[in-house]
Amino acid sequence: MSLITRRLCAAFTGAMLAISPLAITTDAALAQEQHGPRSVADLAESLLNSVVNVSTTERIVAERSTPIPDGDGEEGDGDAEEPYRDFFEDFFGEDGPPQRRAQSMGSGFVISADGFVVTNNHVIKDAEAVVVNFADGTVLDATIVGRDPKTDIALLKVEPETPLKPLDFADTERLRVGDWVMAIGNPFGLGGTVTIGIVSARNRNLRSGPYDNFIQTDAAINQGNSGGPLFNMDGDVVGINTAIISRSGGSVGIGFAIPAEIATAVIDQLRQYGETRRGWLGVRLQKVTPELATSLGLEKPHGAFVAGVTAEGPAETAGLRTGDVVLRYDGHEIQEMRQLPLLVAQTEIGRAVDLGVQRDGEEITVSVEIGLLAEDEARAAAAAAAAEPEPQAEEAPTTEDPVVADPDTTPKVTLLGMGLSAITDELRSTYKIDADVKGVLVVDIEEGSLAAEKRITAGDVIIEVGQKPVSSPQDVAEQIEALKEKNRNTALLTLSSANGALRFTALRIEQ
């Protein structure tokens, strides 16, 4: 006991007679709340029977790397006697490559009395057979109802003889950093293991998928905990333990769980359809950086910048435009770009949703009917989640003798570290620019300039400056001057690659 703690205890002892029983109870409860629960034994005991071990078996076929040896230890016709031949033939088989069965173990938990069990997709994805082991020793075969690789969630079904005790999910919108949490699982095959910790952080993005939004905890999570529940102190599930960061393979106090609000939406769809059916907006999004926010007239970086709109998609049909900034979705404030895909994905197909949008400095409302996310759009969403906020310019097609314009002989105007030129027929041919791409061509970039840092390259085409169309270097200069007159210190450039792919970059401008 520290010196400070002893003095506090002495102070409480000396003043005991002057404090009412109610005050003592209140202070004790407050101290317990601040320093954590004295024990979680009763809570853990009430939950253990609802947490299961999930074991799987898969068949692995390996190529035979060596022939079955004959009697003289060399590759032969097999006629010589060999005391170990029966062993080798039993192991490898006389025909075909060797086979073996690999077993893996994870965790899961019961969500219905009739036998639905939740676990991680990576626990069962290659399984030939799945078995669920309960704390009371009951062992039941399980079938895979459905799985969702993008969130790493799988739903199993067992057929119990008596009703099971299901767990409830918590409202994780109320979960706070610093709240106490408890994990129960099957680390290293040691079933029924209970660990405790706190919520270390929320909304973690590990770039493992398009819908990353993990709870981080320091409750010990190890191999085999995957798919097990993370509880609050009310015994409700706040997350599904999924991943750890560790060089050793064991817990170092950095574990991650899928939050309940994502898990419940996925589980409901797996239970109803056997697959996930996600909402689709039909936009390509870009992070709102501080420079981009300034160029758009936003007070702070927030929202999701619309960098592209899918033709005939829900967004285009509703009137959403490239260059819009989505600030709200169905009443939810969009603080970060990645919030929007999460919210859209969880929206019921066909439902009309109001979007709060900033356009040309004014806020408007756009009503969108959410569509169904197809597999090709899902792949695009996954790629976008792993992309940089401002993607690199596409490299021009190369040949053995690439042809580029000579910046010293091409007529140009230099602005913001870029040599700019009107797009002549010759330059369009030189840079292989599609006929429908209109704007001002970048023919040269000053080394060390801000334009170079933003990865603008010769061959890029400036379509807009400050969301105003440009068709000549003079238009670019005039738009920059107009922004300066408005005391803007950044200019938003809409850039096109030679084949028409758009991106947006904010460049600082000097007054």
Please list the active-site residues: 122, 152, 226
| End-to-end CA gap in the chain | 63
- 283/91 Cα distance (integer angstroms): 55
Q: For strand 255-259 and strand 214-217, is the pairing parallel, antiparallel, or unpaired?
A: antiparallel
| Structure-token pair, residue 321 | 């435009």
Q: Give which of 211, 196, 318 is closest to 261, Cα–Cα.
A: 211
Residues paired with residue 100 on neighbouring β-strands, in sequence order: 60
- Using CA atoms, how far residue 169 sits from 109, 144, 201, 370, in Å, is 11, 21, 19, 26
Q: Give which of 437, 457, 459, 439 is closest to 447, Cα–Cα.
A: 457
Exposed/middle/buried for residue 406 (C-beta within 10 Å: 0-12, 13-18, 19+): exposed
Q: Is 497 annotated as a binding residue?
A: no
Q: Is 226 annotated as a binding residue?
A: yes
| Structure-token pair, residue 386 | 């792993």
Q: Is 282 annotated as a binding residue?
A: no
Exposed/middle/buried for residue 452 (C-beta within 10 Å: 0-12, 13-18, 19+): middle
- DSSP symbol at 148: E
- In the chain, DSSP finds a helix count (H) and a strand count (E) of 13, 27
Q: Is 152 annotated as a binding residue?
A: yes
Q: Give which of 148, 145, 167 is closest to 157, Cα–Cα.
A: 145
Q: Give which of 344, 395, 388 is closest to 370, Cα–Cα.
A: 344
Coil/strand/helix, residue 472? coil
Beta carbons within 8 Å of 267's beta carbon, 6+ residues apart: 111, 118, 153, 155
Coil/strand/helix, residue 58? strand
Q: Identify each DSSP E strand in 273-417 by its residue range.
A: 279-280, 283-287, 304-309, 325-329, 332-333, 352-359, 362-369, 371-372, 413-415
Residues paired with residue 356 on neighbouring β-strands, in sequence order: 328, 365
- 212/202 Cα distance (integer angstroms): 11
Dihedral (CA of 34, 40, 44, 45) sign: negative
Q: Is 35 annotated as a binding residue?
A: no
- DSSP symbol at 351: -
Coil/strand/helix, residue 474? helix
Residue 159 CA to its chain's centroid (Å): 33
Q: Which residues are annotated as a binding site?
A: 122, 152, 224-226
